[in-house]
Amino acid sequence: MLRLLFDLLKMVRRQREATGEIEERQWLSMSFNADEMTRCRALLCVLDDTTPHRRVYQSKRVAHRIAQMLADPSERVRRYAMLALSHVREPSSIPSLVRILETEGPEPDRFLAAHALGYQGGQQAVMALRAIAQDERQPVGLREECLRALGEAKDADGLLQLLPSLQSAEPWPIRWALAQGLRQAGLPEAKEVLERLCSDKRVPRDLRNRAKWWLEAEGNC
């Protein structure tokens, strides 16, 4: 998953160098192009929120088209569309993202759907994220991403509901993601989870040090 994200960042930089300002009409034309890479290039423009592409980035018609691209025949285009929906809000995308998250499909797709749902927010999104986060049958990495996404969505109620069952959860990455979600949602309950992580020798030293830094930065040490 990290490799995918690094590759995308490289492509965004190349796209920025290769194109000037793109108008909405031009973007829509690219998004309907029969060539897979042209459709991908259109989505890369959305991931680049710098001035040359800002009008595309803020267009409602573009957002609606991105949601439609979740059904594209190309797996690559679908994944780029999910990444784009972590930057652009489009309520019509939520049912499709929930379906991808809940389906036992490729884990990278479910990971990207969770990430996008955290940005989209809303009741349907957070209910789906909560269900996966607390389901011990689900992959640990996916549960972690759902917890972080709940923090992105500022779902205080959901995170506090999950806290009693997950604050002592194993393996430790679940608790680390819980702390991240609580902290991102601005909840003081993150303090206790972080303190426990600081004293857990199974947690890598760099993460324990980061937890200590967070506590000190917020005046909790």
Q: So what's the pLDDT on residue 3?
A: 57
Q: So what's the pLDDT on residue 118?
A: 97
Task: Give the span between the Cα atoms of 103 and 85, in whole angstroms.
Answer: 19
- Nearest alpha-carbon partner for 166 in 191, 135, 203: 135
Q: So what's the pLDDT on residue 49?
A: 60
Q: So what's the pLDDT on residue 133?
A: 97
Q: So what's the pLDDT on residue 95?
A: 98
In terms of Cβ atoms closer than 10 Å to its own Cβ (0-12, 13-18, 19+), residue 131 is middle
Identify the structural domains of the chain with CATH numbers, from first to last: 2-156 (1.25.10.10)
Q: What is the pLDDT of residues 132-172, one digit of tens each?
A: 999 999 999 999 999 999 999 999 999 999 999 999 888 99
DSSP, residue by residue, 80-130:
HHHHHTTTS--GGGHHHHHHHHHSS--HHHHHHHHHHHHHH-SHHHHHHHH
Side chain identity, residue 128:
A
Taking CA atoms, 142 is separated from 64, 136, 153, 162, 173, in Å, by 26, 11, 16, 15, 11
Torsion of CA 6, 159, 202, 204, to 10 degrees: 30
Least confident range of 22-26, 96-100, 153-157: 22-26
Confidence bin at 81 (pLDDT 50/70/90):
very high
Confidence bin at 55 (pLDDT 50/70/90):
low
